[in-house]
Amino acid sequence: MVDKPQIKIGNAQGFWGDSVDAPARLVSQQPDLDYLTLDYLAEVSMSILASQRERDPTAGYARDFVEVVRSLIPLWQKGSKVRVISNAGGLNPHGCAKACAEVLHEAGIRSMKIGVVTGDDVLPLLKAAGTNGGAKSKLFANLETGESLTKVSGALVTASAYLGAQPIAKALTAGAEILITGRVADPSLTVAPCVAEFGWDWNDHDRIAGATIAGHLIECGAQVTGGISTDWLQIPDPANIGFPIVEVSSDGTCVVTKPKGTGGLVNERTVKEQLLYEIGDPDNYLSPDVTVSFLSLQVREEKKNRVRVGGARGRPPTSSYKVSASYRDGFWAQGMLTIFGRNAVAKARRSGDVILKRVREAGYELQRSLVECVGAGACMPGLLDRSIEAELLETLLRVTVADPRREAVERFTKEMSPLICGGPQGVTGYAAGRPRVHPVFGYWPCLVDKKELNPQMDILTSKG
Amino acid sequence: MKQSSTKRQIRLGEIAYARSGDKGSGANVGVIARAPEGFAILRSYLSAARVEKFFKPLGVGKVIRYELPNLGALNFVLPRILAGGASRSLRTDAQGKTLGQAILEMKLTIFKRDWMRLKLPVRSAQSQGDEITQPGVARNATL
């Protein structure tokens, strides 16, 4: 393939809701960027997309991505060669590709190739297994609890397998300049261009492990450039935090960096923190492309804001894909009030009890409820000394409830504001109005045999 | 009194930094030594049992500890700590974002000779005064 010593891969979207102008900014800050990866899919994102698709069958993908493509057009017109790889396709990668093609067409770009990867949707497979007398439902048992799928199969909303890098790499090799997928493993967005550019064999597990590490490091955007770091107060210019770039070499090692002139920080600490983010057994990091050991990794700061990561070891991947399924599980709502004054925490707790008691007396025994006093150590009960709690003059009362019945949760939303007149003195912060009722989507992680799936890729062009 | 002359109480955040995140209804927290010499302290004082006890108020299951000596780090897997996780938990922190900050508040009572190995800059007399172990403090330190 191409004899490139290294390729530069950036990430400018760590989740759906991340900075909307970050992609165009990153490309203009780093004009020689080869690939831009954008992640839109958290575990719950698919269920949000499912609700959108119910209302409009052409929806079901991250609309924000189409705007990102629009924002990149001037850069492509000025000669940028950056190729974009994103899971923005969600439940409807073809719909997403069509919308992007229209935007490009309107701008007069007629020759761009859009790759689409599909085959991650396993909802029909799970639904069939759940209804087939339950014979196959054991196959899709909950990975965390071991429960059989029959428990939720009637309420399933989405089920997507985390595909690997292979179909993406194939589409890139076929010339795709914008690559849209549904659910894929986040690091695979980075592994694919490495394999496409360097021509690695899929059995070259150590190099693919190295690229997987590179992908793992940038998949959450600014989390590796100083974001959420323990020493965040010391990072320079956080308002202008740079998004990450990995310079991956053909030997599978990489340098983590960020564009010159941006804020934030890349050092051994920010890199080590992100290496440990959301991992389990560090000797068995599972991706659809490879099983990685972190135990041989070497992390070394070469220069300011340049950290080399090498030494990854890989083994063959497992024979299954991980599946993330979601199911309808009732409704929830949260309400908040600020309580100020002497004994604020005691007043807040009593107010919480009042709210729940009134819902009960209205005839609704709520399935689940929680009263928290934010500011009094709600996130880590037991950590804050009780005597300090008594001294606090201010707390944010947060009451959260969940129930299978929408009307029960709705009743709760009407019981917050009566405290404005009937609660303790010093209740404020209610200008946002009544709480909103949201659906609950339960999370169902399971496995599917790789043989059951057939990931596909197609190439479209912007002429439509 | 002999105890207080050979031991001292520290806050984990003085010798380590951390990051946490969710995995379904569980979470993990990575704890990384600030100085290479600090890893030995983490390894000997920060046991899985210790971390499990610390996070008990959140309903954590059996904690598993993994060692990453190459990074000077420990990784703790915290099953069921999120009471349902991102999609179902009613808590403010349904995704375990705060667990890293929480664990750094843990108090550890360590031997002074272990502390000396860290070769950390001498801290102000005031902060040292707070941290000399008094009888009984070690019990509170387990929270």
The answer to whether the CB atoms of B92 and A374 lie below 8 A apart is yes
Residues of B in contact with A398 (CB under 8 A): 92
Does residue A154 fall inside a structural domain?
no
How many domains would you assign to chain A?
2
- A370 closest CB neighbour out of B66, B69, B90: B90
Work out the average pLDDT over B19-30: 95
- B17 closest CB neighbour out of A230, A370, A400: A230
Q: What pLDDT is recorded for position A130?
A: 78
- A440 closest CB neighbour out of B22, B70, B88: B88
- A273 closest CB neighbour out of B30, B72, B98: B30
The answer to whether the CB atoms of B92 and A379 lie below 8 A apart is yes
Does residue A115 fall inside a structural domain?
yes
The confidence band for A372, taking pLDDT boundaries of 50, 70 and 90, is very high
Give yes or no: residues A334 and A360 share one domain. Answer: yes
The answer to whether the CB atoms of A294 and B17 lie below 8 A apart is no
Give yes or no: residues A295 and A346 share one domain. Answer: no
Residues of B in contact with A440 (CB under 8 A): 87-88
Give yes or no: residues A396 and A258 share one domain. Answer: no
Give yes or no: residues A312 and A346 share one domain. Answer: no
Does residue A398 fall inside a structural domain?
yes
The answer to whether the CB atoms of B70 and A296 lie below 8 A apart is yes
Give the mutation candidate from B39, B58, B60, B87 for the A interface (greatest A CB count, under 10 A).
B87
Three-state secondary structure call for residue B117: helix
What residues does B73 pair with on adjacent strands? B32, B68
Over the stretch A37-62, which tens digit does the pLDDT of each residue have?
Answer: 999 998 778 888 988 988 999 999 99
Residue ranges making up the domain that contains A220: 6-120+162-318
Give yes or no: residues A13 and A96 share one domain. Answer: yes
Q: What pLDDT is recorded for position A3?
A: 62
CB atoms within 10 A of CB A407: 13
The answer to whether the CB atoms of A276 and B28 lie below 8 A apart is yes
Residues B100, B19: contact at Cβ < 8 Å?
yes
Nearest CA in chain A to B94: A379
Residues of B in contact with A280 (CB under 8 A): 23, 28, 75, 77
Give yes or no: residues A265 and A224 share one domain. Answer: yes
The answer to whether the CB atoms of A277 and B98 lie below 8 A apart is no
Q: What pLDDT is recorded for position B78?
A: 98
The confidence band for A132, taking pLDDT boundaries of 50, 70 and 90, is low
Does residue A52 fall inside a structural domain?
yes
One-letter identity of residue A298: Q
Give the mutation candidate from A380, A388, A399, A437 for the B interface (greatest B CB count, under 10 A).
A380
- B21 closest CB neighbour out of A269, A278, A441: A278
Q: What pLDDT is recorded for position B134?
A: 34
Give the mutation candidate from B14, B15, B19 for the A interface (greatest A CB count, under 10 A).
B19
Residues of B in contact with A368 (CB under 8 A): 90
Does residue A1 fall inside a structural domain?
no
> Which of A3-12, A206-215, A365-374, A447-456 is least confident?
A3-12
Q: Is residue A168's pLDDT more than 80?
A: yes
- B75 closest CB neighbour out of A276, A332, A370: A276
Does residue A312 fall inside a structural domain?
yes
The confidence band for B120, taking pLDDT boundaries of 50, 70 and 90, is low
Work out the average pLDDT over A183-192: 98
Work out the average pLDDT over B114-119: 80
The answer to whether the CB atoms of A280 and B98 lie below 8 A apart is no
Q: What is the C-alpha to C-alpha distance for residues A176 and A180, in angstroms, rounded to an integer?
A: 10
Q: Is residue A111's pLDDT more than 70?
A: yes
Give the mutation candidate from B22, B88, B89, B93 for the A interface (greatest A CB count, under 10 A).
B88
Q: Is residue A244's pLDDT more than 90?
A: yes
Residues of A in contact with B58 (CB under 8 A): 380-381
> Which of A26-35, B48-57, B132-141 is least confident?
B132-141
Q: What pLDDT is recorded for position B1?
A: 39
Work out the average pLDDT over B36-60: 96
3-class SS string, chain A: CCCCCEEEEEECCCCCCCCCCHHHHHHHHCCCCCEEEECCCCCCHHHHHHHHHHHCCCCCCCHHHHHHHHHHHHHHHCCCCCEEEECCCCCCHHHHHHHHHHHHHHCCCCCCEEEEEECCECHHHHHHHHHCCCCCHHHHCCCCCCCCHHHCHHHEEEEEECECCHHHHHHHHCCCCEEEECCECCCHHHHHHHHHHHCCCCCCHHHHHHHHHHHHHHCCHHHHCCCCCCCHHHCCCHHHECCCEEEEECCCCEEEECCCCCECCCCHHHHHHHHCCCCCCCCCEECCCCEEECCCCEEEEEECCEEEEECCEEECCCCEEEEEEEEEEEEEEEEEEEEECCCHHHHHHHHHHHHHHHHHHCCCCCCEEEEEEECCCCCCCCCCCHHHHHHCCEEEEEEEEEECCHHHHHHHHCCCCCHHHHCCCCEECCCCCCCCCEEEEEEEEEEEEHHHCCCEEEEEECCC
Q: Is residue B133's pLDDT more than 50?
A: no
Give yes or no: residues A56 and A169 share one domain. Answer: yes
What's chain B's average pLDDT? Answer: 84
Give yes or no: residues A53 and A115 share one domain. Answer: yes
Give yes or no: residues A292 and A359 share one domain. Answer: no
Residues of B in contact with A296 (CB under 8 A): 70
At A383, which CATH number? 3.30.70.1130
Give yes or no: residues A45 and A172 share one domain. Answer: yes
Three-state secondary structure call for residue B56: helix
Q: Is residue A389's pLDDT more than 70?
A: yes
Q: What is the C-alpha to C-alpha distance for residues A196 and B69, in angstroms, rounded to an integer?
A: 34
Give yes or no: residues A208 and A232 share one domain. Answer: yes
Q: What pLDDT is recorded for position B121?
A: 55
Between chain A and chain B, the number of residue pairs with CB atoms below 8 A apart is 130
Residues of A in contact with B98 (CB under 8 A): 379-380
Residues of A in contact with B90 (CB under 8 A): 332, 334, 368-370, 400-402
Residues A202, A306: contact at Cβ < 8 Å?
no
Does residue A356 fall inside a structural domain?
yes
Tell me the domain boundaries of chain B. 2-117
The answer to whether the CB atoms of B104 and A282 lie below 8 A apart is no
* C-alpha dihedral, A15 to A371 to B106 to A227, nearest 10°: 20
Q: Is residue A196's pLDDT more than 90?
A: yes
Give Cα separations from A264 to A29, A226, A399 (angstroms). Answer: 14, 5, 36
> Which of A7-16, A40-49, B10-19, B25-34 is least confident?
A40-49
The confidence band for B85, taking pLDDT boundaries of 50, 70 and 90, is confident
Give yes or no: residues A293 and A359 share one domain. Answer: no
Better-scored residue on pLDDT, A160 or A51:
A160
Q: Is residue B20's pLDDT more than 50?
A: yes
